[in-house]
């Protein structure tokens, strides 16, 4: 299957949703050809509002639209959606629970050449810090399409992080997505790799590599980070006794922190983390950056072996 950019799928999904539901409106901040909201804008110009380079204004406008019964989808780059307008998101969306969907593109360091100002690596921590805010990072194009449909059908504020580049497919024929439900992509008893976003495909690669060495990995796609599928994490802790969490994000506040908290409630187990640590990225090609910062299948496999080793030492 050819690689697709999730944001492209998002743009096409919006048109379908717009045809089904006249209350869906879209807001963008002068980035519609990049966030792919321009498809919607061409078909529904009356329901598309370009707010210019004014993200704070855009978020509060979306809140006003939602307060009047509209379902606003708001798009810009993830750095701006998370950092530029956090107070507006907190006051106007999180505290009100208004029905606004923020779908941010260009998340993570895989943005590439634009460099650290444009690489959102704190966005999951920020959005997960907001009580009741749904946070989703789809693993591939097909899951993006399903996730966008699901968030349109669910009331309340949502943050969806998409990336810039095309990504390898995780799902080929079908994908069943439900908010707050993880998907176990591979069963295994030795260790569980819990991944989100672009790291899911890498986790599967790592599991193949480990299988050749006789290691049976469970692989979980945790595309919803909040609300978290705690049951799947607890089961993984109890049944495999070792966890690896992989995400394109800083070490704290994202999936790793949340999985550790959930796991420790029942049975703490050795955990390893594959993430950016405490570092910003740099300019470079997407693939070069992922390599440089260790967001690779090889690093996940290494972490899995280390987690298994620690498990053995405990027993």
Partner 1 sequence: MLPANAFDFSLTDLEEMARKLRRHVVSMIATAGSGHPGGSLSAAEIVTALYFKVMYHNSKDPRWPNRDRFILSKGHAAPILYAALAESGYFPIEELKTLRKLDSRLQGHTDMNVTPGVEMSAGSLGMGLSFAIGVALAARLDAKTHRTYVLLGDGECNEGQIWEAAMSAAHFKLDNVTAIIDYNSIQLTGWTKNIMQLEPLREKWQAFGWHVIEIDGHDFNQILSSLDKAREIKTRPTIILAHTIKGKGVSFMENKASFHGKAPSPEETERALNELA
Question: Nearest distance from residue 78's CB to partner 1, in Å?
Answer: 20
Given the residues 8, 43, 55, 247, the one annotated as active site:
55
Contacting residues toward partner 1, per CB under 8 A: 25, 46-47, 49, 51-52, 54, 56-70, 72, 87-88, 90-92, 95-97
The yes-or-no answer on residue 278 being catalytic is no
| Cα 68 to Cα 76: distance, rounded to the nearest angstrom | 23
Question: Nearest distance from residue 70's CB to partner 1, in Å?
Answer: 5
Of 19 and 267, CB closest to partner 1: 19
Question: Nearest distance from residue 17's CB to partner 1, in Å?
Answer: 16
Of 80 and 171, CB closest to partner 1: 80
DSSP the chain: ---B-HHHHHHHHHHHHHHH-TTEEEEESS-HHHHTTHHHHHH-GGGEEE--S-HHHHHHHHHHHHHTT-EEEEE-BHHIIIIITHHHIIIIIITTT---EEEEBSBSGGG-TT-GGG-BSSHHHHHHTSTT-EEE--SSHHHHHHHHHHHHTS-S-EEEE--SS-B--S-SS-----TT--EEEE--SSEEEEE-TTHHHHHHHHHHHHHHTT--EEEEE--EEES--HHHHHHHHHHHS-EEEE-SS-SSSSHHHHHHHHHHHH----EEEES-TT----SS-HHHHHHHTT-SHHHHHHHHHHHHHHHHHH-
Question: Nearest distance from residue 14's CB to partner 1, in Å?
Answer: 17
Question: Nearest distance from residue 134's CB to partner 1, in Å?
Answer: 17
Of 100 and 295, CB closest to partner 1: 100
Of 54 and 116, CB closest to partner 1: 54
| Residues with active-site annotation | 55
């Amino acid at each position: 299957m050819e690689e697709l950019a999730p944001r492209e799928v998002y743009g096409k999904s919006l048109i379908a949703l717009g045809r089904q539901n006249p209350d869906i409106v879209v807001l963008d901040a002068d980035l519609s050809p990049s966030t792919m909201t321009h498809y919607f804008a061409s078909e529904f110009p009356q329901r598309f509002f370009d707010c210019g380079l004014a993200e704070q204004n855009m978020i509060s406008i979306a809140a006003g639209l939602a307060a009047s019964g509209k379902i606003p989808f708001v798009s810009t780059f993830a750095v701006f959606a998370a950092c530029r307008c956090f107070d507006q998101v907190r006051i106007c969306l999180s505290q009100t629970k208004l029905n606004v969907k923020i779908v941010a593109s260009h998340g993570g360091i895989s943005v590439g050449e634009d460099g650290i100002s444009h690489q959102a690596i704190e966005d999951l921590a920020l959005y997960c810090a907001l009580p009741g805010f749904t946070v989703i990072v789809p693993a591939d194009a097909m899951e993006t399409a399903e996730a966008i449909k699901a968030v349109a059908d669910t009331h309340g504020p949502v943050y969806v992080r998409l990336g810039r580049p095309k990504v390898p497919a995780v799902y080929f024929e079908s994908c069943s997505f439900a908010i707050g439900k993880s998907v176990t992509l591979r069963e295994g008893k030795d260790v569980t790799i819990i991944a989100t976003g672009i790291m899911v495909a890498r986790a599967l690669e790592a599991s193949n590599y480990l299988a050749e060495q006789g290691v049976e990995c469970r692989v979980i796609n945790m595309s919803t980070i909040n609300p978290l599928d705690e049951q799947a994490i607890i089961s993984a802790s109890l049944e495999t006794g070792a966890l690896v969490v992989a995400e394109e994000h800083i070490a704290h506040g994202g999936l790793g922190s949340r999985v550790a908290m959930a796991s420790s409630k029942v049975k703490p187990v050795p955990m390893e983390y594959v993430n950016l640590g405490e570092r910003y990225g740099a300019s470079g090609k997407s693939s070069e950056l992922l390599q440089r910062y260790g967001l690779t299948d090889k690093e996940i496999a290494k972490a899995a072996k280390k987690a298994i080793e620690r498990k053995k030492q405990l027993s």
